[in-house]
Copies of this chain bind each other. A is one copy, B any other.
Amino acid sequence: MIFLRFFLLFSLFSLAFSHEHLNSHHLGRPLIIEYSENVETQYKEFEEELRLQCTSWRFAVEANNLSPWKTIPQECADYVKDYMMGRAYIVDLERVSKEAGNYAKSVELSGDGKDIWVFDIDETLLSNLPYYAEHGYGLEVFGHVKFDKWVEKAMAPAIEPSLKLYEEVLGLGFKVILLTGRSERHRNFTIENLINAGFRDWHQLILRASDDHGKLATIYKSEKRSEMAKDGNRIIGNSGDQWSDLLGSQMSIRSFKLPNPMYYIP
């Protein structure tokens, strides 16, 4: 490595020097090398600016500042891929799991079995990353038919930090309700997948019935939370990767937004 660098520098050095002789009116500065350094600098600046813009976009997603969007920005395709496949996504998942766990432990439960923790499923308990890796990490427009085929494989792995939180809240005595935008006709695949991924002992699994289709997720999930509250339940915690899992009526005392820069569900 050091040899290579040495010879490379030496060659560039000689080249610059010979060049200088040919262009003596150029103030004796090694222009070729300066040019190549400029290109490198410009490329780095371009990369830095792109990272800044895509980080800013991701912040806007996570802070719920964006209008409904169908696909990730084309120029952020590599950024989103790197985020999802690298340590940053895991670090973010671990942080939200830990924060939620600390909160869960801090709550004094009534002991009447009416303290509820609501979990969304996709990108909250189960990861569809193997699917999205095949479909541009959100760069492709969402395809129901293809995604349904993936759901029916029941192969989505657990999001490990969420499984940890799940077991923690169960252990603390919360009643767990799973509230998903998946269709009722996927109930058995979903149960199979959840069990294979290590989830167990939920109190209720709520999927979209036929008259829920066509409702915005925020409306559908708010309605379901209202039903929970009517039964005298207290929604103490709610974990979801979409703001439509968390906002609306009968909001949880505290909500936890898991990261998801790949898609948006209104």
A residues in contact (CB < 8 Å) with B = 2, 5-6, 9-10, 12-13, 16, 30, 33, 52-53, 55-60, 62-67, 87-88, 91-92, 95-96, 99-100, 102-103, 255-257, 259
Q: A56-B91, A59-B62 are in contact. List 19 more A-B contacts (CB 8 A).
A: A6-B13, A52-B91, A55-B88, A56-B88, A56-B95, A57-B95, A58-B59, A59-B95, A59-B259, A60-B95, A60-B99, A62-B63, A63-B63, A63-B257, A64-B255, A65-B95, A65-B96, A65-B257, A66-B99
Contact A65 B256 (CB under 8 A): yes
Cβ of A67: which chain B residues have Cβ within 8 Å of it?
A: 99, 102-103
Cβ of A9: which chain B residues have Cβ within 8 Å of it?
A: 2, 5-6, 9
- Expressed in whole angstroms, the Cα–Cα distance for A177 and B107 within the complex equals 36
**Residue in B closest to A53 when the chains form the complex, CB atoms:** B91
- Expressed in whole angstroms, the Cα–Cα distance for A101 and B65 within the complex equals 11
- Expressed in whole angstroms, the Cα–Cα distance for A257 and B60 within the complex equals 8
Give the number of copies in the complex.
2
Chain A contact residues: over half helix, strand or loop, or mixed?
helix
- Expressed in whole angstroms, the Cα–Cα distance for A92 and B92 within the complex equals 20
Contact B92 A59 (CB under 8 A): yes
Which 8 interchain pairs have the tightest Cβ spacing?
A63-B257, A62-B63, A56-B91, A56-B92, A65-B96, A65-B99, A56-B95, A60-B95
- Expressed in whole angstroms, the Cα–Cα distance for A99 and B31 within the complex equals 44
Cβ of A56: which chain B residues have Cβ within 8 Å of it?
A: 88, 91-92, 95
A33 touching B259 in the complex, CB below 8 Å, given contacts A53-B91, A92-B59: no
